[in-house]
């Protein structure tokens, strides 16, 4: 009985919003997740298991728990460090999110129950830059030059301490 009581009283590892870095696609003036085409809107996003729509992960058994869960690929993804995963694709927009709720930590990043976009990185192409600024204004997200990403993101939360990285 004491063991179960202790687990009920256990404090979370981190109680501040966690900063993660990720990419989106800017398509027709809308910000969308790069692999599942989920539109990002103003305010928080809540993760839902989309196992039938996620083609880059093995299918998981159905689960009742809120996303993310260890045996599934569900959750809102972000990396620990800013990375350029765009591969030269002009539709990709890099940036930062704050994450909270249940968080699954992995070797290069994490999956969260909740996330909100907070920073987008300004693209080099001026036409894309104008389109991104319009999209960012609609979702209430600041656009910064690439060199300012980490500093701007730090105004919204903290990166995971090294001891908690996967």
- Cut 0.85: pTM above it: no
d(CA 156, CA 153): 6
pLDDT of residue 17: 85
pLDDT of residue 5: 44
Secondary structure of the chain as H, E, C letters = CHHHHHHHHCCCCCCCCEEEEEEEEEECCEEECCCCCCECCCCCEECCCCCCCCCCCCCCCCCCCCCCCCCCCCCEEEECCCCCCCCCCCCEEEEEEEEEEEEEECCCEEEEEEEEEEEEECCCCHHHHHHHHHHHHHHCCEEECHHHHHHHHCCCCECCCHHHCC
CA distances from 54 to 7, 60, 75, 76, 107 (A): 33, 10, 11, 12, 20
pLDDT of residue 9: 52
Would you write out the chain's pLDDT as a tens digit for each of its 166 residues? Answer: 344 444 455 545 556 789 999 999 999 999 999 878 889 999 999 988 866 554 445 555 666 778 787 877 788 999 999 977 555 677 899 999 999 998 888 888 999 999 999 999 999 888 899 999 999 999 999 999 999 999 999 999 998 777 666 5
pLDDT of residue 1: 37
pLDDT of residue 55: 47
Tokens found for residue 128: 């894309």
């Amino acid at each position: 009985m004491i063991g179960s009581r202790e687990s009920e009283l256990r404090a979370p590892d981190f109680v501040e919003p966690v900063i993660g870095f990720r990419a989106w696609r800017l398509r027709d003036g809308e910000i969308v997740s790069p692999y599942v085409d989920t539109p990002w809107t103003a305010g928080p996003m809540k993760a839902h298991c989309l196992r039938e729509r996620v083609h880059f992960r093995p299918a998981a058994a159905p689960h009742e728990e809120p996303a993310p869960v260890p045996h599934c690929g569900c959750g809102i993804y972000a990396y620990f460090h800013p990375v350029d995963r765009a591969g030269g694709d002009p539709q990709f927009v890099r940036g930062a999110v704050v994450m909270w709720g249940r968080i699954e930590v992995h070797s290069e990043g994490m999956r969260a129950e909740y996330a909100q976009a907070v920073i987008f990185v300004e693209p080099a192409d001026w036409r894309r830059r104008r389109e991104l600024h319009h999209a960012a204004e609609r979702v209430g997200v600041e656009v910064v030059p690439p060199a300012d990403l980490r500093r701007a993101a730090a105004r919204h939360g903290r990166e995971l301490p090294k001891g908690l990285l996967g």
